[in-house]
């Protein structure tokens, strides 16, 4: 039924050992009693040792599964593509380039979280039909994270649905996934016409929309809110504590000329203005509707650090240049990496009893105080006139080296968990241009995506959108080891004949059954294998099998080829099943078992939908 792809020297013992390793690795990945990294390293080491002592020799006496083959996953273009795109995506995050898109989605979604989520995921699905879904997911990871934060929902409930929506969209056109192109190429190699661009769009759309309903309504119920719990502990911006802040309106601020509506300024959402100081006169709320913000106005506000950060990011000219200057000389501080952090005044601090102007905080420590938080009472006075007390928390902004230098100052205590890199909007345009260039080059086929993404990662660093340390933080070692181990195991399965053996055993069950039943079971078999092997391997392995079955049954061969396309894209139950699953694993804080819980029902749903629709659509009689 399937021509052998290995040398005749493969022994049953080698095949069964590899099958045992497959079963054992799936159990270990699922239980996670041992870390994914350690399991992956142990799997690679076992394969290296076994095939060193029991080599799989070809006709020339060379070991088909030597160290070069087993370790080749570390240099796999798919892995390099994922890592490069993670770096490119990190550049978009650090420049704040995704906040605008997230704002559009939430704005059009209104106040209903379900509408905003629907718009975001639906856009992903549609884009993935015509673009490589890996960069699409990279674009939307930070957007969905920002969306989840805005609607106060756990990102872990949306990251897997994001990946699933991209995979579903890839089912609908010929260029939606590399798997689809491989199936078409296999048909041509077998002497048959290749698949047309929209040949399976109808059936693909039926499966995609069916799966999208599951992704939107049911999949989040299987996913834990791990990210939200961790963010409460590790993300300082999730804190709801209020700071007293003082904003001096600069001459380039977009807020100049705005007037309050019902006593509130729409330019400063989630910020309470307690007082507006204009020259020597102070205006207290409620503000008259004819009052107009002018350059030089001092706004005394109460807000969280998140609200302050968003306001200053949205309107960089809001903070007067005199107030923003935190360094000496001609250096422009905004062009360096800026950190936002919190420092507390200990009981013995020499700063107690003085206000910020008396201390000269920004000149002495080269950090700008954005706000003061005092638990005992809410203060209605200018921040620079507040006399500091023990226990006060200062929200400060400064260059990374200046913030780090606060560790050596005995008068303040830097709160380690509070430090966070601020977005750098001055690099947003160049980061967006690099990112769009990566997508355009890959989508048009000018260069392979591995080339465009690698060049894009280098340009992100060269342009200053992020530095080497930030780029290295974007690379997840879990992804590196997991992909390398999965590819090594996939090669071993194919070269020892293990994949062919299992496929033949499963396909033997269909002997003598009606054509629609055989087609249904064939879909289920391929869908199961695509979560163990790569989807591209399944496309190459099962297309000839499907064509042979179609010819025996007297069914149009393209029907079984399209079944391979649909089933091979059902990479939902394993993080190694598809690149986009690996991309969302880190941001969603997922375990291996989370993909199994959320993905298995989706595979069953799509299997049922295909089994009911395909025989009717292609007129296959029972």
Three-class SS state of 533:
coil
Residue 339 forms part of a structural domain: yes
CATH number at residue 278: 3.30.70.1450
DSSP assigned state of 588: T
Q: Which of 334, 340, 295 is nearest to 316 (CA)?
A: 334
- The model's pTM: 0.59
pLDDT in tens, 592-606: 889 999 999 999 999
Burial group, residue 352, by CB count within 10 angstroms (0-12, 13-18, 19+)? middle
250 part of a folded domain: yes
Q: How far apart are CA 207 and CA 88, in angstroms?
A: 31
- 298-328 in b/e burial notation, b at 16+ Cβ within 10 A? bbbbbbbbbbbbbbbbbbebbbbeebbbbbe
Comparing C-alpha atoms, which of 485, 502, 576, 496 is closest to residue 65? Answer: 496
SS3 413: strand
Give the residues of the chain that fall short of pLDDT 50: 1-8, 227-234, 320-334
The confidence score (pLDDT) of residue 529 equals 82
**353 within some domain:** yes
Three-state helix/strand/coil letters over 327-371: CCCCCCHHHCCEEEEEEECCCCCCCCCCCHHHHCHHHHCCCEEEE
Strand 281-283 versus strand 413-414 pairing type: unpaired
Can you read off the two tokens belonging to residue 237? Answer: 């911006």
- Determine the Cα–Cα distance for residues 446 and 584; give it in Å rounded to an integer: 27
Name, in order, each residue with C-beta under 8 angstroms of 147's C-beta and a sequence gap of 6 or more.
Answer: 102, 105, 106, 116, 117, 120, 158
Give pLDDT, residue 162. 94
**Count of domains for the chain:** 1
Is position 450 within any domain? no
In sequence order, which residues have a C-beta less than 8 Å from that of residue 585 and are 6 or more positions away? Answer: 476, 478, 479, 575
- HSE, side-chain direction, 13 A CA sphere, residue 407: 6
Q: Is residue 371 part of a domain?
A: yes
Provide the pLDDT for residue 280: 65
Residue 292 is assigned to a structural domain of this protein = yes
* H or E element, residue 414: strand 413-414
Q: What is the DSSP secondary-structure string of 178-231?
A: HHHHHHHHHHHHTTSPPPPTTTTHHHHHHHHHHHHHHHHHTGGGGS--HHHHHH
Domain residues for 265? Answer: 240-422
- Report the C-alpha gap between 530 and 511 in whole angstroms: 23
Q: Give the integer Cα–Cα distance in Å for 596 and 600.
A: 6
Burial class (CB in 10 A: 0-12, 13-18, 19+), 239: middle
Q: What is the 3-state secondary structure (H, E, C) of 468-516?
A: HHHHHHHCCHHHHHHHHHHHHHHHHHHHCCHHHHHHHHHHHCCCCCCHH
The pLDDT assigned to 346 comes to 85
Query: How would you classify residue 293: left for phi > 0, otherwise alpha for psi between -120 and 50, otherwise beta?
Result: beta
Q: Is residue 303 included in any domain, yes or no?
A: yes
Quick one: which of 589, 603, 471, 562 has its CA closest to 202?
562
Helix 535-553 / helix 557-568 crossing angle, nearest 10 deg: 150
Note whether residue 270 is domain-resident.
Answer: yes
Cα–Cα dist 503/510, whole Å: 11
Paired tokens of 117 = 């989520």
Q: How far is CA 223 from the centre of its chain?
A: 16
- Can you tell me the distance from the alpha carbon of 274 to that of 525, in angstroms, rounded to the nearest whole number? 65
From start to end of 221-309, where are the E strands?
243-248, 272-278, 281-283, 298-303
């Amino acid at each position: 039924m399937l021509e052998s792809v290995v040398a005749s020297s493969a022994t049953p013992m080698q095949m069964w050992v590899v099958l045992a390793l497959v079963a054992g690795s799936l159990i270990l990945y699922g239980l996670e009693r041992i870390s994914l990294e350690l399991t992956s390293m142990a799997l690679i080491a076992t394969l290296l040792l076994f095939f060193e002592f029991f080599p799989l020799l070809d006709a020339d006496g060379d070991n088909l599964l030597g160290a070069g083959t087993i370790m080749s996953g570390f240099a796999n273009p798919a892995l390099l593509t994922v890592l490069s795109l993670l770096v490119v995506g990190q550049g978009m995050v650090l420049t704040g380039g995704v906040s605008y898109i997230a704002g559009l989605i939430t704005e059009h979604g209104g106040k209903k979280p379900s509408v905003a989520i629907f718009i975001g995921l639906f856009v992903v699905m549609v884009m993935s039909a015509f673009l490589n879904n890996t960069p699409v997911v990279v674009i939307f990871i930070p957007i969905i994270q920002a969306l989840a934060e805005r609607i106060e929902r756990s990102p872990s409930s949306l990251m897997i649905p994001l990946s699933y929506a991209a995979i579903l969209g890839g089912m609908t056109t010929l260029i939606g996934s590399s798997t689809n192109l491989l199936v078409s190429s296999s048909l041509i190699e077998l002497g048959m016409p290749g698949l047309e661009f929209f040949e399976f769009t109808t059936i693909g759309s039926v499966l995609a929309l069916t799966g999208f309903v599951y992704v939107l309504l049911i999949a989040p119920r299987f996913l834990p809110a791990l990210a939200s719990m961790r963010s409460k502990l590790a993300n300082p911006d999730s804190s709801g504590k209020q700071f007293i802040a003082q904003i001096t309106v600069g001459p380039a601020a977009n807020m100049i000329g705005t007037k309050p509506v019902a006593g509130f300024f729409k330019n400063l959402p989630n910020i309470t203005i307690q007082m507006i100081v204009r020259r020597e006169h102070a205006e207290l709320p409620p503000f008259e509707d004819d009052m107009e913000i002018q350059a030089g106005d001092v706004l005394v506000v109460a807000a969280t650090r998140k609200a302050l950060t968003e306001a200053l990011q949205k309107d960089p000219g809001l903070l007067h240049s005199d107030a923003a200057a935190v360094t000496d000389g001609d250096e422009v501080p905004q062009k360096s990496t800026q950190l936002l952090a919190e420092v507390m005044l200990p009981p013995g601090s020499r700063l107690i009893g003085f206000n910020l102007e008396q201390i000269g905080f920004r000149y002495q420590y080269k950090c700008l105080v954005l706000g003061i938080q005092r638990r005992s009472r809410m203060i209605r006075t200018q921040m620079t006139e507040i006399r500091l007390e023990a226990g006060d928390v200062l929200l400060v902004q400064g260059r990374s080296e200046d913030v780090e230098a606060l560790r050596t100052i005995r008068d303040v205590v830097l709160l380690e968990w509070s430090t966070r890199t601020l977005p750098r909007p001055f690099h947003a345009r160049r980061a967006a241009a690099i990112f769009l260039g990566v997508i355009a080059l890959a989508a048009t086929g000018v260069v392979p995506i591995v080339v465009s993404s690698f060049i894009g990662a280098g340009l992100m660093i060269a342009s200053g959108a992020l530095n080497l340390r930030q780029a290295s933080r974007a690379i997840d070692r879990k992804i590196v080891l997991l992909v390398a181990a999965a590819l090594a195991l996939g090669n071993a399965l194919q070269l020892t004949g293990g994949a062919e053996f299992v496929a033949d055993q499963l396909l033997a069950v269909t002997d003598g059954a009606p054509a629609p039943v055989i087609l249904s079971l064939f879909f289920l078999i391929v869908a199961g294998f695509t979560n163990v092997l790569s989807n591209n391997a399944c496309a190459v392995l099962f297309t000839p099998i499907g064509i042979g079955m179609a010819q025996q049954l007297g069914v149009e061969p393209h029907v079984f080829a399209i079944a391979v396309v649909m089933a091979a894209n059902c990479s939902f139950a394993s993080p190694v099943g598809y690149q986009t699953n690996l991309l969302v694993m880190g941001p969603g804080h997922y375990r291996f078992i989370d993909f199994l819980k959320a993905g298995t029902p989706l595979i069953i749903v799509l299997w049922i939908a295909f089994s009911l629709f395909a025989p009717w659509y292609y007129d296959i009689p029972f």
